[in-house]
């Protein structure tokens, strides 16, 4: 007695198809207690089944039961049922044509191949990361969640929404490739394999952060000198205006710290003007302090000099009008920042000016005490002329981590 050969195999065809085969060349065998039978074997080929094949009479339910026997001479009807995502292509072997049903007279072992095809062929999208910063990219529909170069497959024709999110010390600079623009989200329809690059940078100003994410609120942030990851510094970002403003937090805010003063005496009458600062505005491109920005400053006093009234003093400025006396005072204390006043960033000016700048006792260049005066004279950032109210000159800083 011959035993029928049972066959089930999977082969990659390069597209999503399924096949069912009735093994040809299988001789019917005789059971002394039953009618002769022939083998029926079903195969599934491809990465995905694509559908199922069932038989009438029952016995084949492929891919669960892909091999069985029927009595020799039986009429067997095969039915191909594709998945919703697939379509039936046709038969080969003992069955032919594209009808999803096929009738066989099983007078011997026979083979049949049924092919299915994915209605929506897959396409691949590759995501790469560019720039010196870092972040992540996710997709909707889900499928991509990348913090480094990655790829994913989706049904051809899918409209994919990609969303870029910078990490806590970066900002998104824009897309290149199949996506373009600087908006954090991008929509692309996958008509073919595609590639996109999400670019992230190291921010150098608060405005870069605001432009990337307009929902950001006022608060402390980390920036980088010339976008260099090795040169970080901390700032306070004032996001409530456009463009956003960048400030250094002054940690030393006692009455005798980070103040400017115009002291009365000589031709200056009234009450001494003193302006105390808690933050100073910095241009992160030039590293210059805007000494006239008093958003985070308070002033007291009022000085009258010939032709002018003084009610506030620019940052880092000591002034007086008592001839021969440096009675004006000021203090610059950048403790807790990554900066110090540059060499030659301060100078005497005015009529018969006098005054000195003195580092603190330990020689810390971040901290300077100033005196200034004359008739009238000042000690102030280099280039100043009559530096009171809003007439101060920028104070040049250097990176001093």
Distance in angstroms (rounded) separating the CA atoms of residues 90 and 112:
10
Which class for 332: exposed (0-12), middle (13-18), buried (19 or more C-beta within 10 A)?
A: buried
Q: Is a pLDDT exceeding 70 seen at residue 1?
A: no
**pLDDT per residue as tens digits for the range 258-293:** 999 999 999 999 999 999 999 999 999 999 999 999
Has residue 373 been placed in a domain? yes
State which of 69, 86, 118 marks the end of a domain: 118
Cα–Cα distances in angstroms (integers) from residue 198 to residues 149, 166, 180, 241, in the given order: 10, 10, 9, 28
pLDDT band at 189, cuts 50/70/90? very high
Has residue 140 been placed in a domain? yes
Residues pairing with 54 in the sheet:
61, 79
**pLDDT per residue as tens digits for the range 145-161:** 999 999 988 888 899 99
Has residue 218 been placed in a domain? yes
Are 307 and 381 found together in one domain?
yes
**342 vs 31, residue with greater confidence:** 342
Q: Is a pLDDT exceeding 90 seen at residue 382?
A: yes
Most confident range, picked from 88-102, 148-162, 222-236: 222-236
Has residue 366 been placed in a domain? yes
Q: Is a pLDDT exceeding 90 seen at residue 294?
A: yes
Structure-block tokens of residue 88:
């039936």
**pLDDT per residue as tens digits for the range 3-46:** 333 333 333 232 333 333 333 344 444 444 557 888 767 665 54
Number of domains comprising the chain: 4
Q: Is a pLDDT exceeding 80 seen at residue 186?
A: yes
Are 63 and 114 found together in one domain?
yes
DSSP for 102-169, written as a single string:
EEEEESS---EEEEEEESS-EEEEEEEEESSS-EEEEEESS--EESSSEEEEEETT-EEEEEEEE-TT
Report yes or no on whether pTM surpasses 0.85.
no
Tokens 């996001």 map to which residue? Answer: 239
Average pLDDT of the residues in 57-61: 84
Name the residue among 338, 308, 340, 336 with its Cα closest to residue 321. 308
Structure-block tokens of residue 27:
């001789």
Structure-block tokens of residue 222:
């980390």
Average pLDDT of the residues in 189-202: 96
Which class for 388: exposed (0-12), middle (13-18), buried (19 or more C-beta within 10 A)?
A: buried
- Which range marks the domain in which residue 244 is found? 206-249
Are 263 and 375 found together in one domain?
yes
Q: Is a pLDDT exceeding 70 seen at residue 208?
A: yes
Are 220 and 286 found together in one domain?
no
State which of 87, 118, 149 marks the end of a domain: 118
DSSP structural state of residue 226: G
Name the residue among 194, 176, 174 with its Cα closest to residue 133. 174
Q: Angle at the Cα of 384 (from 381 to 385), degrees rounded to 5?
A: 155
Has residue 136 been placed in a domain? yes
Q: Is a pLDDT exceeding 90 seen at residue 59?
A: no
Are 298 and 377 found together in one domain?
yes
What is the biggest distance separating any 2 CA atoms in the chain, rounded to whole angstroms?
134
Beta strands in 250-344 (DSSP E): 259-263, 269-277, 279-283, 288-290, 297-305, 308-310, 318-320, 328-333, 339-341
Distance in angstroms (rounded) separating the CA atoms of residues 267 and 327:
13
Are 126 and 193 found together in one domain?
yes
Are 264 and 340 found together in one domain?
yes
Residues of the chain with pLDDT > 90: what percent? 65
Whether the Cβ atoms of residue 199 and residue 177 lie closer than 8 Å to each other: no
* pLDDT for residue 272: 98
Average pLDDT of the residues in 106-130: 85
Whether the Cβ atoms of residue 74 and residue 67 lie closer than 8 Å to each other: no
Instruction: Read off the CATH number of the domain in which 178 is found.
Output: 3.10.20
To the nearest whole number, what is the mean pLDDT of the chain? Answer: 87
Are 151 and 58 found together in one domain?
no
């Amino acid at each position: 007695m011959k035993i029928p050969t049972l066959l089930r195999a999977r082969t990659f065809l390069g597209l999503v198809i399924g096949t069912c085969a009735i093994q040809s060349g299988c001789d019917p065998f005789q059971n002394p207690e039953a009618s002769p039978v022939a083998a029926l074997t079903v195969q599934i080929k491809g990465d995905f089944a694509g559908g199922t094949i069932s038989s009438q009479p029952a016995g084949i339910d492929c891919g669960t039961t892909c091999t069985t026997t029927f009595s020799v001479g039986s009429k067997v009807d095969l039915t191909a049922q594709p998945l919703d995502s697939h379509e039936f292509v046709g038969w080969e072997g003992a069955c032919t044509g594209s009808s999803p049903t096929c009738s066989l007279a099983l007078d011997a072992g026979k083979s049949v191949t049924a092919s299915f095809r994915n209605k929506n062929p897959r396409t691949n999208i590759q995501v790469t990361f560019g720039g010196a910063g870092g972040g992540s990219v996710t997709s909707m529909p889900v499928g991509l969640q990348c913090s480094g170069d990655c790829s994913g497959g989706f049904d051809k024709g899918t409209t994919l929404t990609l969303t870029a999110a910078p990490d806590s010390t970066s900002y998104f600079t824009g897309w290149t490739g199949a996506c373009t623009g600087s908006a954090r989200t991008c929509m692309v329809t996958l008509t073919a394999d595609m590639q996109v690059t999400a670019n992230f940078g190291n921010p150098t100003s608060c405005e870069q952060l605001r432009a990337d994410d307009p929902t950001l609120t006022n608060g402390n942030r980390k920036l980088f000198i010339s976008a260099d990851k090795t040169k970080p510094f901390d700032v306070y970002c004032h996001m409530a205006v456009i463009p956003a403003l960048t400030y250094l937090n002054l940690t030393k805010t006692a009455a005798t710290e980070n103040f400017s003063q115009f002291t009365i005496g000589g031709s200056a009458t009234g009450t001494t003007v003193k302006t105390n600062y808690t933050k100073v505005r910095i241009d992160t491109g030039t590293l210059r302090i805007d000494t006239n920005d008093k958003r985070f400053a308070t002033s007291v006093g009022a000085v009258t000099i010939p032709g002018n009234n003084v009610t506030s003093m620019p940052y880092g400025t000591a002034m007086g009008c008592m001839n021969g006396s440096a009675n004006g005072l000021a203090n610059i204390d950048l403790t807790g920042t990554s900066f110090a006043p540059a060499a030659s960033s301060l100078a005497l000016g005015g009529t018969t000016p006098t005054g000195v700048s003195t580092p603190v006792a330990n020689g810390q260049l971040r901290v300077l005490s100033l005196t200034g005066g004359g008739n009238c004279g000042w000690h102030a950032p280099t280039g100043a002329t009559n530096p009171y109210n809003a007439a101060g000159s920028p104070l040049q800083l250097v990176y001093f981590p």
